[in-house]
Amino acid sequence: MSAAQWARDLGMGLRFAFAGGREGWTRALLTAVGVGLGVALLLLTTALPGALAERDRRGEARLNFTYGEQIERAGDTLVTADTDTEFGGRDIRGRLLEPEGDKAPVPPGLREFPARGDMVVSPALKELLGSGDGALLRERLPYDIVGTIGEQGLIGSQELAYYAGAEGLADRVGDGMVGRIDSFGDPNPTEEEMDPVLMLLILVVFVVLLMPVAVFIAAAVRFGGERRDRRLAALRLVGSDGGMTRRIAAGEALGGALLGLVFGTGFFLAGREFAASVEVFRISVFPSYLNPSPLLALLVAVAVPGAAVLVTLLTLRGVVIEPLGVVRTARPARRRLWWRLLFPLAGVIMLVPMLGQGRENGEFNGYLVTGGVICLLVGVTALLPWFVETVVARLGTGSVSWQLAVRRLQLSSGTAARMVNGIAVAVAGAIALQMLFAGVEDDYTKETGFDVTLAQMQVRVPDGTEIAAATTRLEKTEGVRKVYPLSEGYFADRPYTEEPQRNAQLTVGDCATLREVAKLPSCADGDVFAVRGGEYDTDTPSLSRPGQKLYAEVSSSGEELTEVAWTVPEALKEADSVEDPTGTKRGGFLLTPGAMPDDLAGAVSGQLYLAIDDSVPHAREHVRNTAAAIDPLSSPMTWSATERTERFDSIRTGLFVGAAAVLALIGASLLVSQLEQLRERRKLLSALVAFGTRRRTLSLSVLWQTAVPIGLGLLLASVVGITLGAVLLRMTSTPVGVDWASVLQMTGIGAGVVLVVTLLSMPPLLRMMRPDGLRTE
Amino acid sequence: MTTTPPPGSLLVARDLRKVYGPTTALDGAGFSIHPGEVVAVMGPSGSGKSTLLHCLAGIVTPDSGSIMYDGRELTEMSDGERSALRRSEFGFVFQFGQLVPELTCVENVALPMRLNGTPRKEAERAALTWMERLEVDDVRGKRPGEVSGGQGQRVAVARALVTGPRLLFADEPTGALDSLNGERVMELLTDAARSSNAAVVLVTHEARVAAYSDREIVVRDGRSRDMERVV
């Protein structure tokens, strides 16, 4: 067989693809849309690792790394303060900058330093601050906007970030938030690998998304199959041999696939621009770095049309094209189970070695993960035809509509199974992902452990802040019910210069507040308590002897540290620790304000625990605004677990929407196939109507014909999805739990698809049941 | 045919008109048939004979004219009533059998009875009796795709007769068969119909097939007329 012959046959098929009348064009367009979606998804897949790597690179390049050895003030140093905040559930990256010389490093994305009182903002933050929604935030960031941060200084298009000019920061270097740097970026960059769990999620998402697209392509290439069959038979009649005919058919599919490549590139480019305006799970990207790897893009360009041709050849496998017509092989050989089990088995074998590795144990082997997940999902597609055939063969006869449907399925269960394979894969994948997300999210939520019944926010104010004044301001803030002010520090058994061996926590607060952290026998201002039963506290008993001298470290100005001595008083009382608002049992010493010497003020930092009235709109935003007004370096924290729940909800919603979209795609495939089947049976339907068959009977038979395989598909998908979900959860060392809500949700969508496909099949079915179909007799 | 129909007719049609777009399929056609009578409707392709059969069977409603079946006016019946009539009192045989490919032959024959609500076993028992009479009981468990054209057509005849119809409509029943098989099907069809006193409307363009009828009418340009039988 010469290459010229191949080219000639494929070329003839290509011409047929676009010259086959309305049906031909429809088929070519449907194939192109399916292939286009696949190509766009594949291009996105190939672009994603590069995009995430670029985000990491940019994130690292703008890092103001202040740990390690302290840098002395010089002409090339810059003092930075982290003033990250959040607004409406979105994180805002904030930095205060104070250059100490002309050569101070300018952050990426900035041309010059903003002056004191000015700020340079990201485009998204500028938009937010300019909108009505951002009015509250404007209060918190009372700086003049003098410019926007360039793309190089941002990791995503929707990132909220600002750099504000400041003065007097140098005096506060050493406070956790403030540091001196002479360059941006991590001085000791580590080869940062992508979070293995995130990588796992991405891999699964794309496998799940691509499989239904493949099913859609397989359905699309069958559209208008009857006319194509007649054309192919005519070709056989004029002397085309079997091989030639198949190549011509493949050429027809190639036409749609090539058009699909163009569509796919268009979809991708349009999606790439659109990507700049959206944020998914708090991640946004810039189109500039959403570039597919050229080699992988080339591979996609070759593999996708190749796959479309392969699918066509596979669908023609059970078809004998004869000169007088097309004969579909009557009864396929009985399906065997053993080799179908190999796929899920291989998947489990690939994934099992990674069980229990968790996030800490580093990478998952990408190839094994992808291979394992694909094998499990392909396992669904391999098992489904056998499963449908086996179950359908055992279904008894019932009403006429049931009998018609069941017999049809028994005769060609493979077609039905292929059609629902997409749904099964999508549902199995979605259930697995929901379980994984739910499990991982639970994992994070459990870590907090805050007692949110007492306080729902915490504000840490920088050292030296007047706690009483800060308390008053916060008490007056809209939405704050109560403030529990505590100052915290540490005592040691000897001066810090002499390397202390034992230490104990120091907590200062009024009696009412101290009662939230310990069970006090009695309390009056001036009392001091030694706390028993604190977590991780072994030294307090030995340090609480009256008369004993203890030392506290006080930061006065800049980096200078001094020691202050304190003597354990004679009137020391004892108290039992109780779970404090942070959910921990603290030990050490409790001091009422009257027992606190003035020179110890610098040894403690203020923590204010706030009870919030959530019925007040934007209560938390008001607190953040007050905290920023007290000191821009104060850091408010929200304890409420609701944020986690909200985030989880958004993931669920995202998955729900994604799965629904995939199922809609599969629904469209089912509809195309159903209509094609009805068209092929037009005469038969008319004949059935002629001898009095009720429309209801035939409509119900269409419903059963869709519902039975989908029902079986959903059952199998639930089993595989739960298995895959359990394996993935074990891989991330997360307790396995079935998210039944998602299982029900997914099966519900599947049932919805059955109904919609049946309903949409009704008008053409009723039209084809008209007696007109008999006119050709 | 505008002459007065003979008394005791089972079905009488008068002045039927039917137009499909620019094409006039029937233009004042008439027809009558007695119980147990076999009437052949003949005519060239496109003359309107199939449309006449579809109108007579209540599959298609004529634009004008009257069709009386056993004292009831077919053109005034609802679609549901006509469907019920076709299920219970009419039988049909088409050129290509039009058997449901996924059902076995016995299930195909039993189908009209099942549509009438007869339990499956009882329907299949009756179906088998008819299959024996039409000499196709040996293919009862096979699907239509697995039997020959002649066998398939005989299964279709059995299906048409299984409900004990009073009127059988056969549209080119041997059109897809060779002469030997065609003759055998016609013999069995007319014998079975006569033995159960069913009238047969037989649409054909073959004189050889029409020879099995008691009477012939010819349709040309949408009009019908009785033909003298030349013996």
ipTM of the complex model? 0.72
Residue B55: inside a domain:
yes
Neighbours of A618 (CB within 10 A): 15
Helices (H) then strands (E): counts for chain A: 20, 20
Question: Can you tell me the mean pLDDT for B199-211?
Answer: 89
A411: contact with B, CB 8 A cutoff: yes
Whether A251 shows a pLDDT value over 70: the answer reads yes
A319: contact with B, CB 8 A cutoff: no
What CATH number did the domain enclosing B130 receive? 3.40.50.300
Residue B2: inside a domain:
no
Contact: A774, B94; criterion CB under 8 Å: yes
Q: Residue B95: which of A408, A697, A777 has the nearest Cβ?
A: A777
> Into how many domains does chain B fold?
1
Cα–Cα distance between B58 and B134 in angstroms, integer?
27
Question: Quick check: A263 and A35 in contact, CB under 8 A?
Answer: yes
Whether A650 shows a pLDDT value over 60: the answer reads no
How far is residue B175 from each of residues A91, A689, B40, B203, measured CA to CA in Å? 79, 21, 14, 10
Question: Quick check: A256 and A35 in contact, CB under 8 A?
Answer: yes
What integer pLDDT is reported at residue A649 of this predicted model?
Answer: 58
Contact: A690, B96; criterion CB under 8 Å: no
Question: Which residues in chain B have Cβ-Cβ distances shorter than 8 Å to A677?
Answer: none
Cα–Cα distance between A456 and A610 in angstroms, integer?
6
Residue B4: inside a domain:
no
Cα–Cα distance between B186 and B201 in angstroms, integer?
13
Q: Give the alpha-carbon dihedral of A87, A88, A90, A94, to 10 degrees.
A: -10
Contact: A774, B101; criterion CB under 8 Å: no
Whether A681 shows a pLDDT value over 80: the answer reads no
Pick from A249, A193, A198: which is nearest to A53 by CA?
Answer: A193
pLDDT tens digit sequence for B178-197: 888 788 888 888 988 888 88
Question: Can you tell me the mean pLDDT for A602-608?
Answer: 83
Q: Residue A777: which of B85, B94, B115 has the nearest Cβ?
A: B94
Cα–Cα distance between A194 and A207 in angstroms, integer?
19
pLDDT tens digit sequence for A155-182: 888 899 999 999 888 888 877 778 888 8
Which 8-state DSSP code applies to residue A771?
G
Residue B6: inside a domain:
no
Q: Which residue of B has its CA nearest to A397?
A: B120
Residue B90: inside a domain:
yes
B60: contact with A, CB 8 A cutoff: yes
Whether A444 shows a pLDDT value over 80: the answer reads no
Question: Which of B59, B60, B167 has the highest number of chain A CBs within 10 A, making it the mutation to test binding with A?
Answer: B59
Neighbours of A751 (CB within 10 A): 14
What is the domain range of residue B71?
11-226
Burial of residue A709 (CB within 10 Å: 0-12, 13-18, 19+) is buried
Residue B5: inside a domain:
no
What integer pLDDT is reported at residue B40 of this predicted model?
Answer: 92
Contact: B102, A404; criterion CB under 8 Å: yes
DSSP collapsed to 3 states, A643-705: HHHHHHHHHHHHHHHHHHHHHHHHHHHHHHHHHHHHHHCHHHHHHHHHCCCCHHHHHHHHHHH
pLDDT tens digit sequence for A360-412: 545 566 667 777 877 877 787 778 778 878 888 888 778 888 888 888 787 76
What integer pLDDT is reported at residue A209 of this predicted model?
Answer: 64
Cα–Cα distance between A95 and A84 in angstroms, integer?
7
Q: Which helix (H) or strand (E) holds A309?
A: helix A294-315
pLDDT tens digit sequence for A450-463: 566 677 888 888 87
Residue B135: inside a domain:
yes
Question: Which of A406, A691, A776 has the highest number of chain B CBs within 10 A, making it the mutation to test binding with B?
Answer: A691
How many angstroms separate the CA of residue A695 from the nearest CA in chain B? 10
Domain ranges within chain A, ordered by starting residue: 64-181, 337-449+641-777, 457-640
Contact: A771, B59; criterion CB under 8 Å: yes
What integer pLDDT is reported at residue B231 of this predicted model?
Answer: 39
Cα–Cα distance between A319 and B121 in angstroms, integer?
35
**H-type alpha helices, A563-641:** 619-630
What is the greatest pairwise CA distance in chain A? 115
pLDDT tens digit sequence for A486-517: 888 888 888 877 888 888 889 998 898 898 88
